[in-house]
Amino acid sequence: MTTTLEAVETAALGLSVPERAELIQRLIETVLPTQPLHPDWEAEIERRLVDLDSGRVKTIPAEKVLAEMRAMIQAASPGKPDA
């Protein structure tokens, strides 16, 4: 490891956990840049974020959704043991 890389690593380790996570994301994007989304997808994402931020829609915890899905699958497959 070069001296410069070691200095950068030392400085990075001095950051808070959220700052290190942000740094990781930024570095990954320089190595594996994300492809731009189609404008329709960008608009849909923006619409959904506005709906969430305004309180017009509420999120459902993943655990609840998965439990409901498991119950639906179990109901459609009588006689099969729970997974």
Indicate the number of domains in the chain.
Answer: 2
pLDDT digits (tens, 9 = 90+) for 8-51: 999 999 999 999 999 999 999 899 888 899 999 999 999 999 99
CB-based burial, 9-45: b 16+ in 10 Å, e otherwise: eeeeeeeeeeeeeeeeeeeeeeeeeeeeeeeeeeeee
d(CA 36, CA 7): 33
Q: Are 70 and 76 in contact (CB under 8 A)?
A: no
One domain, residues 64 and 45: yes
% pLDDT > 70, the chain: 95
Q: Which residue has the higher pLDDT, 4 or 83?
A: 4
Q: The pTM is what?
A: 0.45
One domain, residues 3 and 22: yes
One domain, residues 23 and 49: no
One domain, residues 29 and 43: no
One domain, residues 45 and 60: yes
One domain, residues 4 and 29: yes
Domain that holds residue 71: 39-76
Inside any domain, residue 82: no
